[in-house]
């Protein structure tokens, strides 16, 4: 895939899980804890790479919708508090990401986070690792505004005073690419997260990068 020449970003809206931080183990262990409570065998941590990214209800639907549909509602109810107790147990920024965030912030590029993780946990993680770098942090609040809905991305652009068309939406999944498309912004795919270069290319990312230092 040829890499599209892009102008500097007016702002950067980052995804959280799989983009800024590696949270897969904490999510998987919390979900497996809920499965154990329901008498269902756990899944491998690697399996969760294709289960996460679109919020808790969708994660559980993908996890149990076909095999144990009667357990979906109860597992959804259990998972949020189970995860909340361990949200920062193993979760850490990816190598090179803190330096990237620091460079962009020092250059005066407005930064934001938009995640499908529940809002309170999104804020907790971002403010733990980056107390001041991100001007806006938005997590999942309502299903109708879950990415790829551009609703919150538009709100962020308005709050930052930037043109959506000049805003980079940076993430590791096709959902992030679709969010950028819906916003009318620039879709940047990163390969160090939970999905593959092929997934991002098929989704139509404007640029795909393998290392944080390729972004600035």
- The arithmetic mean of pLDDT across residues 106-127, rounded, is 97
Q: What is the CATH number of the domain that holds 33?
A: 1.10.150
Nearest to 123 by CA among 12, 16, 31: 16
Same domain, 18 and 34: no
Write down the pLDDT at residue 139: 97
Write down the pLDDT at residue 7: 81
Same domain, 32 and 17: no
Q: Which of 15, 26, 199, 206 is an active site residue?
A: 15
Write down the pLDDT at residue 99: 98
Same domain, 106 and 204: yes
Q: Do the domain assignments include residue 4?
A: no
Residue 11 has pLDDT above 50, yes or no: yes
pTM: 0.93
Same domain, 155 and 58: no
Write down the pLDDT at residue 6: 81
Looking at 3-7, 16-20, 146-150, 157-161, which range is the least confident one? 3-7
Q: How far is CA 62 from CA 24, 44, 84, 183, in A?
A: 16, 14, 20, 26
Q: Do the domain assignments include residue 1?
A: no
Same domain, 101 and 18: yes
CB atoms within 10 A of CB 213: 11
Residue 5 has pLDDT above 80, yes or no: no
Same domain, 77 and 174: no
CB 171 within 8 A of CB 192: no
Separation CA 216–CA 66 (nearest Å): 43
- The arithmetic mean of pLDDT across residues 34-46, rounded, is 95
Write down the pLDDT at residue 125: 98
Q: Which domain holds residue 135?
A: 11-22+92-215
Separation CA 203–CA 51 (nearest Å): 17
Within 13 Å, how many C-alpha atoms sit on residue 26's CB side? 21
Q: Do the domain assignments include residue 153?
A: yes
Residue 170 structure tokens: 């940076």
Per-residue burial over 179-212, b if 16 or more Cβ lie within 10 Å, else e, is bbbbbebbbbbbebbbbeeebbeebebbbbbeeb
Q: Work out the pLDDT band at 216, boundaries 50, 70, 90.
A: confident
Q: Do the domain assignments include residue 144?
A: yes
Share of the chain above pLDDT 90, in %: 94
Q: Do the domain assignments include residue 2?
A: no
Same domain, 117 and 17: yes
CB 136 within 8 A of CB 12: no
Transcribe 77-91 into DSSP letters.
Answer: HHHHHHHHTTTTSS-
Number of domains in the chain: 2
Which helix (DSSP H) or strand (DSSP E) does residue 187 occupy?
Answer: strand 186-190
Write down the pLDDT at residue 4: 61
Q: At which of 84, 116, 136 does a domain end?
A: 84
Q: What 3-state class would DSSP assign to 115?
A: strand
CB atoms within 10 A of CB 127: 14
Catalytic residue list contains 22? no
Q: Do the domain assignments include residue 103?
A: yes
Residues contacting residue 13 through CB under 8 Å, at least 6 positions apart: 112, 113, 114, 153, 156, 157, 167, 168, 169, 170, 185
Same domain, 159 and 75: no
Q: Do the domain assignments include residue 80?
A: yes
């Amino acid at each position: 895939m040829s890499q599209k020449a892009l102008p500097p970003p007016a702002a950067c809206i980052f995804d959280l899980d799989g983009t800024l931080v590696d949270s897969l183990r904490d999510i998987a262990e919390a979900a497996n804890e809920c499965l154990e409570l329901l008498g269902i065998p756990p899944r491998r941590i690697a399996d969760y790479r294709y289960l996460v990214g679109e919020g808790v209800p969708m994660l559980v639907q993908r996890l149990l919708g076909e095999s144990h549909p009667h357990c979906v509602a109860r597992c959804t109810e259990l998972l949020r508090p189970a995860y909340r107790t361990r949200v920062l147990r193993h979760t850490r920024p990816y190598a090179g990401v803190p330096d990237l965030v620091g460079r962009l912030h020092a250059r005066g590029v407005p930064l934001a986070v938009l995640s499908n993780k529940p809002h309170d946990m999104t804020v907790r993680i971002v403010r733990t690792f980056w107390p001041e770098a991100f001007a806006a942090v938005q997590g999942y609040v309502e299903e109708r505004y879950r990415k790829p809905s551009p609703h919150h991305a538009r709100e962020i652009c308005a709050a930052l005073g930037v043109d959506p068309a000049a805003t980079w939406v940076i993430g590791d999944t096709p959902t992030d690419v679709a969010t950028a498309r819906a916003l009318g912004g620039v879709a940047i795919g990163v390969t160090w997260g939970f999905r593959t270069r092929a997934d991002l290319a098929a989704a139509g990312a404007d640029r795909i990068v393998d290392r944080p230092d390729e972004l600035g």
